Structure 1
Amino acid sequence: MRSLRSLLRPLLVIGAVAGAAVLAVPVALGALGLIGWVDAAALVLLGALGGAVFVLALGLLLLRRTVNRLATSVSTVMDTHSRRVAETLGRDRLEAARSMDGVKERLTHLRDHSLPKLTREVTHAITVQGRNDYEQQVAWTELREHLGTPTFMPPLRGWAASPDVMRLLVREIDRRRPELVVECGSGSSSVWIGYALRRAGGGRLVAVEHDARYAELSRALVASHGLEDVVEVRTAPLTEFTSGGEEPEDGAEGAGGGPRQWYDTSVLADLEGIGLLFVDGPPEATGAQARYPAVPALLPHCSEDVVIILDDASRTDERALGDRWLAENPALRRTEEAAEKGAHVFTRS
Structure 2
Amino acid sequence: MRSLRSRLRLILATGAVVGAVVLCVPAVLGFSGVIGWTEAVTLTLLGLLCAAVGALGASVLLLSRRMGALSRSVTTAMDAHSRRIAETLGQDRLENVRVLEGVHERFVHLQEHTLPRMNREIRNAVTVQGRNDYEQQVAWTELREHLDTATFMPPLRGWAASPDVLRVLVRHIDRLRPELVVECGSGASSVWIGYALRRAGGGRLVAFEHDARYAELSRELVAAHGLDDVVEVRHAPLVETASTTVTVDGQRLSTADRWYDTSAFADLEGVGLVFVDGPPKATGLQARYPAVPVLLPRCTEDVVIVLDDAARDDERGLGDRWLDEYPELHRVEEAAEKGAHVFSRKGA
Kindly indicate whether residue 296 of structure 2 is the aligned counterpart of residue 268 of structure 1: no
Deviates further, 171-180 or 326-335: 326-335
Q: Deviations over 1:278-319 (max 9, x none)?
A: 121223343444333333432343344433222122233433
Contact 1:236 1:267 in 2 (8 A): yes
Contact 1:241 1:293 in 2 (8 A): no
Aligned counterparts of 2:151 and 2:37: Cα–Cα separation in 1: 142
Secondary structure of the 2:246 match is coil
Aligned counterparts of 2:57 and 2:324: Cα–Cα separation in 1: 120
Cα shift at 1:71: 0.7
- 1:245 matched residue in structure 2: none
Structure 1 runs not aligned, ≥5 long: 243-247
Q: List, as ranges, runs of 4+ consecutive aligned residues in structure 1 with deviation greater than 4 Å.
A: 239-242, 258-261, 323-333
Secondary structure of the 1:118 match is helix
Structure-to-structure mapping, 1:1-349, within 5 angstroms: 1-239=1-239, 251=246, 257=254, 261-326=258-323, 332-348=329-345, 349=348
Contact 2:255 2:287 in 1 (8 A): no
Contact 1:147 1:196 in 2 (8 A): yes
Number of residue pairs matched?
343
What is the letter of the counterpart of residue 41 of structure 1?
Answer: V
Secondary structure of the 1:251 match is strand
Aligned counterparts of 1:15 and 1:295: Cα–Cα separation in 2: 122
What is the letter of the counterpart of residue 3 of structure 1?
Answer: S
Contact 1:240 1:259 in 2 (8 A): no
Contact 2:184 2:209 in 1 (8 A): yes
Q: Deviations over 1:221-273 (max 9, x none)?
A: 3234333222111122345668xxxxx87529xx9737854433332222233
Cα shift at 1:320: 4.1
TM-score (norm 2): 0.84
Structure 2 runs not aligned, ≥5 long: none
TM-score (norm 1): 0.84
Aligned counterparts of 1:129 and 1:271: Cα–Cα separation in 2: 40
Aligned counterparts of 1:65 and 1:241: Cα–Cα separation in 2: 101
CA-atom RMSD in angstroms: 3.1
Cα 1:165–1:9 shift into 2, 3 Å: same
